[in-house]
A = this chain, B = another copy of it.
Amino acid sequence: MTLVHLVIALALVEFFVFLNAVGRARDTYHVPAPATTGNEVFERYFRVQMNTLEQLIIFVPAILLFARYVHPLAAAALGLVFILGRWLYFRAYVRDPKRRGTGFLIAVIPNSLLLLGGLIGALITLIRYPGLY
């Protein structure tokens, strides 16, 4: 499980980088707190952060379930693709929101696989060993 834990920590470090980028963009584009709108480029940084947050709430439990009920190495590999996809998403989105699709897909496909794999794996385990509820 340690490799999967390492991948989770890397995904969270990436998110920390996105949070810092939003903080810097707040200064660069003059959007004083508590506002989150008013400058379109700042809003791109902010949306990368929010969208990554939405994906992470799925990613962290999903990769742990996949590692437990399917395979830990496959979980770690899918997790690394997720982290790469989020990085491409960040880079594309802040340049041009219309080009964010590729990075989004490269992240959302492994994330969906982790969740569906974990769900099906847990379901099969429960059917085979109902006493494990």
Give A residues with C-beta under 8 Å from B. Answer: 1-3, 5-6, 8-10, 12-13, 15-16, 19, 32-37, 40, 43-44, 46-47, 49, 53-54, 56-58, 60-62, 65, 68-69, 72-73, 76, 93, 97, 100, 112, 115, 118-119, 122-123, 125-126, 129, 132-133
- Is A2 a contact partner of B57 (Cβ separation < 8 A)? no
Chain B nearest Cβ from A56, distance in angstroms: 5
Known contacts A61-B60, A133-B76, A36 near B32 by CB under 8 Å: no
Bound together, the chains give a CA A8 to CA B133 distance in angstroms of: 13
Residue of B12, B97, B115 touching A61 (CB-CB under 8 A): B12
B37 touches A119 (CB 8 A): no
CA–CA, A93 and B54, complex, Å? 19
Contact between A46 and B34, CB atoms less than 8 A apart = yes
Q: Whole-angstrom distance from the CB of A79 to the nearest CB of chain B? A: 12
Whole-angstrom CA separation of A115 from B12 in the bound complex: 8
Extra contacts besides A8-B61, A32-B97 (20): CB < 8 Å = A1-B132, A2-B132, A5-B68, A5-B69, A5-B118, A5-B122, A6-B119, A6-B122, A6-B126, A9-B61, A9-B65, A9-B119, A12-B58, A13-B119, A34-B47, A34-B93, A35-B43, A53-B53, A57-B60, A60-B61
